[in-house]
Amino acid sequence: MSEEFTIKNRKREFDKIFKEIIVPFFKTVNFKRHTKTSKRLFKNLGHELSVFIIFEYKTFGYGFYDTTIVYYDSDIGDVYNDQYLVMAKIKIQTIEGCNAEELNSSADSWLKHVKSEVIPFIENHSTHKAILASNEFYISKARENEIIEILKKKSMKDK
């Protein structure tokens, strides 16, 4: 009889996947772990622009790991106060499973998706100018004018 795949077991298995598969892959494309314990990876893109990939556990259904891409600019704010520049609208597969085998299989599928869709997306949107020219981002309505002005100003400096 197999052991129940509890939230604790799922977290333990995901931590292993994150440490042994996800982090090493992202190191190959110049991402770093934000802190030793966080589920956030980041890459400095230059000109005070950085991109974060944030993993979050959601409890809907059996539970799954959702991934979000968020860009920060030091003139707007940082990850510590959640003052992001823009959030990518790109659809990213979730990582989910009812047991360790399914969770690992889902992570493999997720990684293939990241390699073919997410990394190219980030590479194509690595400047203020590229972000400003794209409709693939959510901009906070409360700060929309301020953010667009920053993007315009910094777009002039981008190569």
Q: What is the pLDDT of residues 67-97, one digit of tens each?
A: 999 999 999 988 878 889 999 999 999 999 9
Q: Tell me: the pLDDT tens digits for 100-132?
A: 999 999 999 999 999 999 999 999 999 999 999
Which letter does DSSP use for residue 143 in this model? G
Residue written as tokens 């995901």? 14
* pTM (predicted TM-score): 0.91
Which letter does DSSP use for residue 2 in this model? P
CA distances from 11 to 22, 111, 133 (A): 14, 18, 39
2 domain residue, yes or no: no
Q: How many domains does the chain have?
A: 1
Residue written as tokens 């959640």? 82
Query: Domain containing 127: what range?
Result: 7-155
53 domain residue, yes or no: yes
106 domain residue, yes or no: yes
Residue in 133, 145, 139, 93 with CA at minimum distance from that of residue 115: 93
At residue 2, the pLDDT reads: 55
94 domain residue, yes or no: yes
39 domain residue, yes or no: yes
